Amino acid sequence: MNGESVVFWVTATFSVMGAVGMVVSRKAVHSALWVAFTMINIAILYFSLEAAFLGTVQIVVYTGAVMMLFLFVLMIVGVDSADSLLETIKGQRLVASLFGISFGAMLIAGITSSGAINARGLTVANNFRGSNIKGLAELIFGRYLLAFEVTSALLITAALGAMVLAHRERVHPRKTQAQLQRERTLSGHPTPLPAPGVMATNNAVNVPGLLPDGSPSQASLPKPFQSNGDDETTTKEVTK
Amino acid sequence: MIAALIGLPLFGATVLLLGGRRTNSWGHYLAVLMSGSAFLVGVNQFMKMVSLADEERSLTQHLFTWIAVGRLEVPFALHLDQLSIVFVLLITGVGTLIHIYSIGYMEHDENRRKFFAYLNLFVAAMLLLVLANNYLLLYVGWEGVGLASYLLISFWQQKPSAAAAGKKAFIVNRVGDVGLSIAVMLMFVTFGTVTFEGVAQSAANANQTTVTWIGLALLLAACGKSAQFPLQSWLLDAMEGPTPVSALIHAATMVTAGVYLIARAHAIFDLSETARTAVVIIGAITLLLGAYIGTAKDDIKKGLAGSTMSQIGYMILAAGLGPVGYVFAIFHLLTHGMFKAGLFLGAGSVMHGMHDDVNMRHYGALRSFMKITYVTFGLGFLAIIGIPPFAGFWSKDEIIHAAFGQSILIGLATLLGAGVTAFYMTRMMTMTFFGEARWEDDVHPHESTNTMTIPMIVLSFGSVLGGLLLLYVGDIEHWLEPVVGFAYPAHSVSNTVLIPITLSVVLLGAGYAWFKYGRRPVPVTAPTNVSFLTKAARADAYGDAFNEAVFMRPGQHLTRLLTFFDAKGVDGVVNGLAATVGGLSARVRSTQSGYTRSYALFIFGGAALIAFVLLLVRL
Amino acid sequence: MNANNYLVLAAILFTIGAFGVLVRRNAIIVFMSVEMMLNAANLAFVAAARITGTLDGQVTAFFVMVVAAAEVVVGLAIILTIFRTRKSASIDEASLLKY
């Protein structure tokens, strides 16, 4: 068993583990972490496949940028929210398993039916231009130049699209300081709001602070974490 | 100058139709003027023609090339020869008299201007028909005559019967027109030309069968226009039109077109014994059928219509006899044009005085109330039954003489026809002008105005002298010979024997009618307990019933069947398909749940299926 | 080593990703599963590049990464917009477009 085999079997096991973990995790954050784990393992596989440049890009772009973007969005949507794993569409999971297993089996059967393949290796191709990166550059800015240019257009369009989608039109004019002052005075609560809980045993920002009489104050929480009092989790965590 | 013959009445029709109400006050005078000047042009041409030698009498005026496609080249050319000119004179002469008569007859009709426009159009179309130098141009005039007759027969279109009669005339004529169009196409295919001259030249070299078929197709066309058996049914209904129209259709235009066509296409008929025989048979059947129908009609106009059928039958029969008959067919056509126009105008005059009542059983003893009408009608009557020296005698006698030359059977048919003619005409004469008065008290018979009586008087001169003048002064046999050819009947019964026989048959028929209707009182309502023959004659020999049973009912059934098939078969398939798709969609619709994951599952299933197929193909 | 192994691994990862798309309801996790499928495809491309001894497969993988990055940006923006209006990231919530 040579080094390549060792690397392959270890990373292959890890990446499949990561993929399965992504699918079965209840919390989205956990899924994201599992995906990042798989991505890193795939990056290692790229290195062993003589694609050093792609391996680096994989780490930088996927685990670095894309997955961070995912986590960023998760922050907004709610890091803590956990999915119910109960299936709501009748028969979806059963049929999906059936299709998945048969599809995977057929792919594997198709791949392995031709028997063992010996890779030619990229030594010649990489050395032709001096190195892997130079070879890729030759291709990208040569034969695939048009695709590259079109990709740039795609990226610009995507950036613009994201901006348009995320943009919110201001419906009312921005409030002035005088208005804010007046509202605060009239709200019956001119002093600063109580701070949320400060004991760092928990995600402190969603634990309400205690009032002098010992009761939790919803007003101390940021808006996304506020509840009308019927939210069990919040109450439970407070009483803990 | 030939084009002016057609152009003048056409101009009149155009002005009256486009001019609208502005021309109401003077429109009818314009129409009379146009028709009259066309007559004068015709007389002028005739005079010129008389002064020329025989072979120079044929004139052609090439106006422009009408159609030039490949081998087909049809000139828009007019041809005036000895045959055309007599038709021109008849059409414009009698036509003008009828125009004048109509001024009085249609005086109180609010659409008088339109009526005169149509009359002019009729004359123009008929002139185009007789002046064309090729069959295709003749066809244009032929159709124009059909259109004008439709417009005039259904002129009082507010009456459903008139509207139906117009339609009937048009549709029955269409059957004949198909024959003419087939003949024209056959001519073009066979001879490569449609001009009279070209067809006459190349007909001799053509296939005998083809020539026969062309002749039969032309005969079908003639049957349609001339109301010959079996396409006679429209003529009796055409009496729904105003009486001047009936006179025009029956005397000067329309029904004579068939005779003209056969005479003009003599080159075809000369070559085909079969076609000629068919023409003779059709003529004989119609001549007897028309006379037979005429014997039972109480409607004075329908009686005259039956008579027209019968007389045209004589002409067609004569035309079918070949060179021995063409000349006499035209001769009889001319004399008939004069006395029949006179008879119709007389009938119109009687109706005018009797509150438009057409039933002869309500007439009687009118001779003292309408003296001019009585005399002119009487002269026409003498002419049609063939009493010498009146016009009809000369022409009819020649036809009978020629028919005996052909065969004894045909001769006997014409002889019998003459007897029956005498019978029904005497019946009409006695029922109308003799016997006791049978009209209601509020009817006051009176003589018509001058505009109506003068044409009648003029025409009665024709009834008296027309035959003699044409035969002995005009020498019609030799006048027409260069165009249609002429031969004396080879072996016929001698005229010295035949004339007394004919006269005695005629007198027998007339005497029987006098005995039956003049001596005894005529019942005011038609008796119902009559023989089958009378009933059949009253029902136009069941021509309509036959058409209805054989053509109309099966046609309706076919239509109903097709409708049924369309509703159940075609629509069923279409609706069934729609229902199937709809039902299937309603079931498949539930897969459109809106859940993205559900759709993704279908896509994934498709991918799995493709993978499976690829695997299957590879392994 | 048998180069097929890489392809088999890619197939397994792809199938797991597809399964994740089908069974998870959280739009973000569904999206992650899609990324997983793209990565599996990339892995197959890179392995194929090595098998054939050319660099084209790697270039293709590179382009896939670029396109995936663009797609993530737009996709997450869409998820955010949906979350704003529905206060939920469940893709089953956005199921009004139906019969």
pLDDT confidence of residue A232: 44
pLDDT confidence of residue A102: 92
Contact call for C99 and B590, based on CB within 8 A: yes
Q: Of A220-229, B73-82, B184-193, B303-312, which gets the smallest average pLDDT?
A: A220-229
Interface test with A, best of B612, B613, B617 (most A CBs within 10 A): B612
pLDDT confidence of residue A160: 93
Q: Interface pTM (ipTM) of the complex?
A: 0.92
Report the chain A residue with the minimal C-alpha distance to residue C24: A23
Contact call for A16 and C9, based on CB within 8 A: yes
List, for residues A95-151, the tens digit of each pLDDT value.
999 999 999 999 898 888 877 788 788 888 888 888 888 889 989 999 999 999 999
pLDDT confidence of residue A64: 87
Contact call for B600 and C91, based on CB within 8 A: no
Mean pLDDT over each residue of chain A, to the nearest integer: 83
Contact B268, B196 (CB under 8 A): no
Task: Quote the distance between the C-alpha of residue A201 and its chain's center.
Answer: 26
How far is B439 from B67, CA to CA, in rounded Å? 59
CB atoms within 10 A of CB B511: 15
Task: Quote the distance between the C-alpha of residue B616 and its chain's center.
Answer: 82
Interface of B with C (CB under 8 A): 589-590, 592-597, 600-601, 604
What are the residues facing B299 on neighbouring strands?
B359
Interface test with B, best of A23, A83, A98, A106 (most B CBs within 10 A): A106
Question: Which of C23, C35, C54 lies closest to A93 in CB terms?
Answer: C23
Own/partner pairs, B135-138, CB within 8 angstroms, 24+ separation? B135/B180, B135/B183, B135/B184, B135/B187, B135/B194, B135/B195, B135/B196, B135/B199, B136/B66, B136/B67, B136/B74, B136/B184, B136/B194, B137/B66, B137/B74, B137/B76, B137/B77, B138/B261, B138/B264
Q: Of A211-215, B89-93, B521-525, C33-37, which gets the smallest average pLDDT?
A: B521-525
Q: Of A6-20, A74-88, B98-112, which gets the smallest average pLDDT?
A: A74-88
Residue B229 has phi, psi (to 5 degrees) of: -55, 135
Task: Quote the distance between the C-alpha of residue B615 and its chain's center.
Answer: 84
Report the chain A residue with the minimal C-alpha distance to residue C83: A77
Contact B254, B321 (CB under 8 A): no
List, for residues C39-53, the tens digit of each pLDDT value.
999 999 999 999 998
Task: Calculate mean pLDDT across residues A46-67.
Answer: 90
Q: Tell me which of A86 and A234 has the higher pLDDT.
A: A86
Residue-level length of chain C: 99
- Cα distances (Å, whole numbers) of residue B240 to A95, B149, B165, B548: 85, 12, 7, 20
- Six-digit token string for A74: 């998760």
Residue-level length of chain B: 619
Q: Which residues of C touch B608 (CB under 8 A)?
A: none
- Structural domain including A125 reads 121-166
- Confidence band for C15, pLDDT divided at 50, 70 and 90: very high
Task: Calculate mean pLDDT across residues A163-174.
Answer: 84
> Crossing angle, helix B82-105 and helix B326-353, to 10 degrees?
0
List, for residues B503-537, the tens digit of each pLDDT value.
888 888 888 888 887 777 777 777 777 777 777 77
Please state the domain extents for chain C: 4-86
- Six-digit token string for B194: 């449609």
Q: Indicate the burial class of B210 (C-beta count within 10 angstroms; 0-12, 13-18, 19 or more).
A: middle
A–B CB contacts, 8 A cutoff, strictly below: 34
R_g of chain B, CA atoms, integer Å:
30
Give C40→chain A minimum CA distance, Å.
9
Whether residue B284 is predicted with pLDDT greater than 80 in this model: the reply is: yes
To the nearest whole percent, how much of chain B has pLDDT over 90? 3
- Cα distances (Å, whole numbers) of residue B584 to B576, B588, B602: 12, 6, 18
The reply to whether A5 and A57 lie within a common domain is yes
Q: Is residue A95 part of a domain?
A: no
How far is A156 from A145, CA to CA, in rounded Å? 17
Report the chain C residue with the minimal C-alpha distance to residue A37: C36
pLDDT confidence of residue A153: 93
Contact A139, C25 (CB under 8 A): no
Question: Which of C22, C25, C97 lies closest to B601 in CB terms?
Answer: C22
Helix (H) or strand (E) holding B77: strand B72-80
Q: Which residues of C touch A108 (CB under 8 A)?
A: 8, 11-12
- Confidence band for A79, pLDDT divided at 50, 70 and 90: low
Give C14→chain A minimum CA distance, Å.
8
Scan for tokens 């005894």, then name that residue. B520
Q: Tell me which of B102 and A204 has the higher pLDDT.
A: B102
- Spatial CA neighbour of C37 closest among C63, C76, C10, C4: C10
> How many helices and strands in chain B, by DSSP H and E?
26, 2
How far is B394 from A134, CA to CA, in rounded Å? 123
How far is B385 from B396, CA to CA, in rounded Å? 9
Give B580→chain A minimum CA distance, Å.
28
Q: Which residues of B touch C92 (CB under 8 A)?
A: 595-597
List, for residues B3-59, the tens digit of each pLDDT value.
888 888 888 888 888 887 888 888 888 888 888 998 998 888 888 888 887 777 778
CB atoms within 10 A of CB A94: 10
Eight-state DSSP code of residue B238: G
The reply to whether A212 and A150 lie within a common domain is no
Eight-state DSSP code of residue B531: -
List, for residues B434-485, the tens digit of each pLDDT value.
877 777 777 777 777 777 888 888 888 888 887 778 777 777 777 777 777 7
The domain tally of chain A equals 3
Residues 73-102 of A with CB under 8 A from B: 89, 92, 95-96, 99-100, 102
Query: Strand B72-80 to strand B59-69: parallel, antiparallel, or no bridges (unpaired)?
Result: antiparallel
pLDDT confidence of residue B491: 66
Question: Which of B589, B595, B604 lies closest to C99 in CB terms?
Answer: B589
Task: Calculate mean pLDDT across residues B191-208.
Answer: 82
Contact B255, B227 (CB under 8 A): yes
Percent helix, percent strand, percent coil in chain B, to nearest 5: 80, 5, 20
Amino acid occupying residue B577:
L
Per DSSP, helices labelled H in B528-618 are 532-538, 543-547, 553-564, 571-588, 596-618
List, for residues A171-180, the tens digit of each pLDDT value.
888 889 998 8
Contact A68, A55 (CB under 8 A): no
The reply to whether A159 and A198 lie within a common domain is no
R_g of chain C, CA atoms, integer Å:
17
Q: Tell me which of A206 and B379 has the higher pLDDT.
A: B379
Task: Calculate mean pLDDT across residues B413-435.
Answer: 86
pLDDT confidence of residue A201: 59
Q: Is residue A58 part of a domain?
A: yes
Q: Tell me which of A47 and A238 has the higher pLDDT.
A: A47
Contact call for B600 and C96, based on CB within 8 A: no
List, for residues A7-34, the tens digit of each pLDDT value.
999 999 999 999 999 999 888 889 999 9
Interface test with B, best of A87, A90, A103 (most B CBs within 10 A): A103
Give B596→chain A minimum CA distance, Å.
11
Q: Would an 8 Å CB–CB cutoff place A57 in contact with chain C?
A: yes
Helix (H) or strand (E) holding B385: helix B371-385
Interface of B with A (CB under 8 A): 593, 595, 597-598, 601, 604-605, 607-608, 611-612, 614-615, 618-619
- Spatial CA neighbour of B354 closest among B303, B300, B305: B300
Eight-state DSSP code of residue B527: P
> Crossing angle, helix B160-191 and helix B208-225, to 10 degrees?
160
Cβ-proximal residues to B175 (8 Å cutoff; 6+ apart), any chain = B220, B224, B231
Q: Would an 8 Å CB–CB cutoff place A124 in contact with chain C?
A: yes
Q: The dihedral of CA B615, B619, C6, C8: what is its sign? A: positive
Contact call for B597 and C99, based on CB within 8 A: no
Task: Calculate mean pLDDT across residues B179-196.
Answer: 87
pLDDT confidence of residue B235: 82
Interface test with B, best of C7, C21, C26, C29 (most B CBs within 10 A): C21
Q: Which residues of C touch A4 (CB under 8 A)?
A: 1
List, for residues B535-554, the tens digit of each pLDDT value.
777 776 677 777 777 777 88
Give A73→chain B minimum CA distance, Å.
21
Q: Tell me which of A36 and B327 has the higher pLDDT.
A: A36
Contact call for A99 and B598, based on CB within 8 A: no
pLDDT confidence of residue A81: 65
How far is B225 from B215, CA to CA, in rounded Å? 15
Whether residue A239 is predicted with pLDDT greater than 60 in this model: the reply is: no
- Which chains form contacts with chain A, at 3 or more CB pairs under 8 Å? B, C
pLDDT confidence of residue A227: 63
Mean pLDDT over each residue of chain B, to the nearest integer: 84
Eight-state DSSP code of residue A229: S
- Which chains form contacts with chain B, at 3 or more CB pairs under 8 Å? A, C
- DSSP, collapsed to helix, strand or coil, labels residue B521 as coil
Report the chain A residue with the minimal C-alpha distance to residue C9: A12
Whether residue A158 is predicted with pLDDT greater than 50 in this model: the reply is: yes
The reply to whether A4 and A71 lie within a common domain is yes
Question: Which of C25, C91, C98 lies closest to B593 in CB terms?
Answer: C98
Residues 21-80 of C with CB under 8 A from A: 22-26, 28-29, 31-33, 35-36, 39, 42-43, 46-47, 49-56, 58-59, 61-63, 65-74, 76-80
Return the ∠ at Cα B307 (arms to B128 and B360), rounded to 5°: 120
Helix (H) or strand (E) holding B64: strand B59-69
Q: Which residues of A touch B611 (CB under 8 A)?
A: 103, 106-107, 110
Whether residue A198 is predicted with pLDDT greater than 80 in this model: the reply is: no
How far is B216 from B270, CA to CA, in rounded Å? 13
Amino acid occupying residue A14:
F
Interface test with A, best of C7, C8, C14, C15 (most A CBs within 10 A): C15
Contact call for A117 and C2, based on CB within 8 A: yes
Cβ-proximal residues to B442 (8 Å cutoff; 6+ apart), any chain = none
Scan for tokens 């339609």, then name that residue. B167
Contact call for B597 and C18, based on CB within 8 A: no
Q: What is the CATH number of domain C4-86?
A: 1.10.287.3510
Whether residue B253 is predicted with pLDDT greater than 90 in this model: the reply is: no
Contact C79, C91 (CB under 8 A): no
Contact call for C24 and A45, based on CB within 8 A: no
Cβ-proximal residues to B568 (8 Å cutoff; 6+ apart), any chain = none
Query: Strand A216-217 to strand A209-210: parallel, antiparallel, or no bridges (unpaired)?
Result: antiparallel
Whether residue A200 is predicted with pLDDT greater than 60 in this model: the reply is: no
